[in-house]
Structure 1
């Protein structure tokens, strides 16, 4: 009888230890996110940049030029100034860009970051499963057009994908907060 009791206890422990550990959002966080999206009044600060992996990016990693803790597909932005702000129908951003440029580089190379300031175009919000929001829109930089897709999660985390006509795509992960803070 002892082996049966031991086997039952072992199965019970394994079942409990394999339970997924989802990060649950509080009701206050869900309500905060809903208000931010409805009012179009929020800012996103990114903790990580995730460029497309290419041979050129691998060479940069091999040279040791990236911040500590970074890899070819995840660059640590903590402590670096970066933001994307939506206020009504306008956008302002400064996002460091890591990746390959294809064309449209201004004289002197001063437009290396993704700097947007202007009006949103084709702004669309879709509420998905588990109270998350998918926001997509277009915006114009100095010499490029960008298509931006943002996913905002109820725990106030964010995931952004930016595609431009002259750069390889890049993603950013971080957190969203109200402009009032």
Structure 2
């Protein structure tokens, strides 16, 4: 009886071991296959990356130098502070949004450069660190005028960076340091550092003002 009992335990152990080994090998093969597909996807992505023609790059540079274009943003990227995390938990953000990425495609927003004047209205998500707002209903980032320290730089990759400083339209005590990055495919980022609020970034696209029949 003891002999058969021991044989039964060995058989049971061997069966479980073979099952464990088979599952382990299956998981290992699947992980390797997924890793292989990931590498292939990255290689294809690099291979199919858009190459811009010299004419397209020249058109892009002409747009930047024309000082006559508009940016409409689809996403706001605020600093995920504790207050925004609590707001996220209430479910008040638009669908698909969170404390660090907010869909603003349904919100009116713009940034324009026309000759020497820049203007913009951007919805704001974040925290105020200082007061001094005479109109509490004006909570967005809003400015218009001739900026200070306006500077345009072209990078080695053919992108452009625009930096300037300007005061808020509703509170002259608030100052913005704005950095705009433009890419040949006309995607854009607007990074705003405020003297009174936490910083925020916006992602969107640029286009000629003439496309909207604007003055």
If the length of structure 2 is used for normalisation, what is the TM-score?
Answer: 0.73
**Equivalent residue of 1:58, what SS?**
helix
Q: How does 1:52-131 map to 2 (within 5 A)?
A: 52-131=79-158
- The range that moved more, 137-146 or 103-112, is 103-112
**Equivalent residue of 1:162, what SS?**
strand
**Relative to structure 1, is the Cα distance of residues 33 and 107 closer, same or farther in structure 2, using a 3 angstrom cutoff?**
same
Q: Confirm or deny: 8 A CA contact 1:147 1:164 kept in the other structure.
A: yes
Larger helix percent:
2
**Relative to structure 1, is the Cα distance of residues 56 and 127 closer, same or farther in structure 2, using a 3 angstrom cutoff?**
same
Aligned to 1:24: 50
Runs of 4+ aligned structure 1 residues displaced above 6 Å come to 12-15
Q: Which of the numbers 180, 183, 199 marks the counterpart of 1:150?
A: 180
Relative contact order, CA 8 A, sep 6+: which one is greater? 1
Q: Shift of residue 106 of structure 1?
A: 2.0
Query: What is the count of residue pairs matched by the alignment?
Result: 171
**In structure 2, what is the Cα distance between the partners aligned to 1:43 and 1:24?**
23
Larger strand percent:
1
Q: Shift of residue 92 of structure 1?
A: 1.2
**Relative to structure 1, is the Cα distance of residues 14 and 42 closer, same or farther in structure 2, using a 3 angstrom cutoff?**
closer
**In structure 1, what is the Cα distance between the partners aligned to 2:39 and 2:196?**
50
Q: Shift of residue 17 of structure 1?
A: 4.2
Whose Rg is larger?
2
- The range that moved more, 140-149 or 28-37, is 28-37
Task: Give 5+ residue unaligned stretches, structure 2.
Answer: 1-32
**Equivalent residue of 2:161, what SS?**
strand
Q: Indicate the RMSD between aligned Cα atoms, in angstroms.
A: 2.1
